[in-house]
Amino acid sequence: MQKSLLLIVFLLATLHIHAQSPVGRWKVVSHTIVYDGTTMDMHAALLQQRPCAAKIVYEINADATYRLNAAASGCDPKYIDFQQKLYSKTQWKLEGNVFTTSATNFAVGQSYTVSFSGDKMTWVGTEGQGTLVYQKI
């Protein structure tokens, strides 16, 4: 009985060690949405207007904060200030493979099905928000 219990604990610990975590610094590489049957990459459109946005970093922290860091992006100060304020209270949580962000202590939030492949993290909106692909930096 003790051997079986020890084996179960070992397997659970191994799974936990190998589970990928969203914690880290990420850059958006695409944000696709489907509108009237047409797929559009909103991130590519943003980069046409603001190439500096390619250097924006999203910080998913172990303390459950989710921040946009545009300090080193080269964007104009007003844009940086506005974007960083939007994320100043954002929190995140992961339940199974559902990643949720909220700036209202989860009274309201946006949820995504999250998956990992190498250094990429993909969020698929559960309510039509589209698909975001992040690359770990």
β-strand pairing of 66-69 with 91-95: unpaired
pLDDT (tens digit per residue) in 50-71 = 999 999 999 999 999 999 999 9
How far apart CA 68 and CA 47 sit, in angstroms, is 16
pLDDT (tens digit per residue) in 13-31 = 444 434 699 999 999 999 9
Q: Quick check: is 10 in a domain?
A: no
What is the count of structural domains for the chain?
1
CATH code, domain carrying 34? 2.40.128
Helices and strands (H and E) in the chain: how many: 3, 9
pLDDT (tens digit per residue) in 102-122 = 999 999 999 999 999 999 999
Q: Quick check: is 30 in a domain?
A: yes
- The helix or strand, by DSSP H or E, that contains position 11, with its residue range, turns out to be helix 2-18
The pLDDT confidence band at residue 1, using thresholds 50, 70 and 90, is low
Q: Quick check: is 48 in a domain?
A: yes
Q: Quick check: is 53 in a domain?
A: yes
Q: Quick check: is 35 in a domain?
A: yes
Which domain does 39 fall in, by range?
21-136
